[in-house]
């Protein structure tokens, strides 16, 4: 960087200073919007992952519930058959 190009703003002409300030303001707004969009995308991806995790958890719990119900039913049938065989 060339130090000769660095001038304090108070030495710039008013119209040139205003033009540079406008450019900076526009660039700042673009950067803020870009960051907001990136943040929204990150939150959406994170939320989607949480939804998928919740769906997996619910599916697992449902499978376990069905397995317990099946075991109970088989235990009932076996206990009925065993008592019938012992008579």
On whether residue 1 sits in a domain, the answer given is no
On whether residue 35 sits in a domain, the answer given is yes
On whether residue 2 sits in a domain, the answer given is no
- State pLDDT tens for residues 9-41: 888 899 999 999 999 999 999 999 999 999 999
pLDDT at 83: 53
- Position 86 pLDDT exceeds 70: no
Range of the domain at 63: 13-86
Structurally, the chain folds into a number of domains equal to: 1
On whether residue 82 sits in a domain, the answer given is yes
In this structure, what DSSP letter does residue 12 have?
S
Q: Where are the alpha helices (DSSP H) in 1-87?
A: 14-86
On whether residue 33 sits in a domain, the answer given is yes
- State pLDDT tens for residues 55-66: 999 999 999 999
On whether residue 4 sits in a domain, the answer given is no
pTM above 0.85, yes or no: no
On whether residue 58 sits in a domain, the answer given is yes
On whether residue 62 sits in a domain, the answer given is yes
What's the rounded Cα separation, in Å, for the pair 39 and 45?
Answer: 10
What's the rounded Cα separation, in Å, for the pair 47 and 13?
Answer: 51
């Amino acid at each position: 960087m060339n130090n000769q190009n660095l001038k304090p703003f108070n030495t710039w002409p008013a119209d040139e200073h205003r033009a540079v300030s406008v450019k900076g303001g526009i660039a700042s707004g673009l950067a803020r919007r870009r960051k907001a969009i990136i943040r929204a995308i990150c939150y959406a991806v994170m939320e989607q992952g949480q939804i998928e995790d919740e769906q997996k958890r619910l599916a697992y719990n449902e499978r376990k519930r069905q397995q317990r119900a099946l075991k109970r039913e088989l235990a009932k049938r076996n206990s009925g058959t065993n008592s019938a065989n012992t008579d």
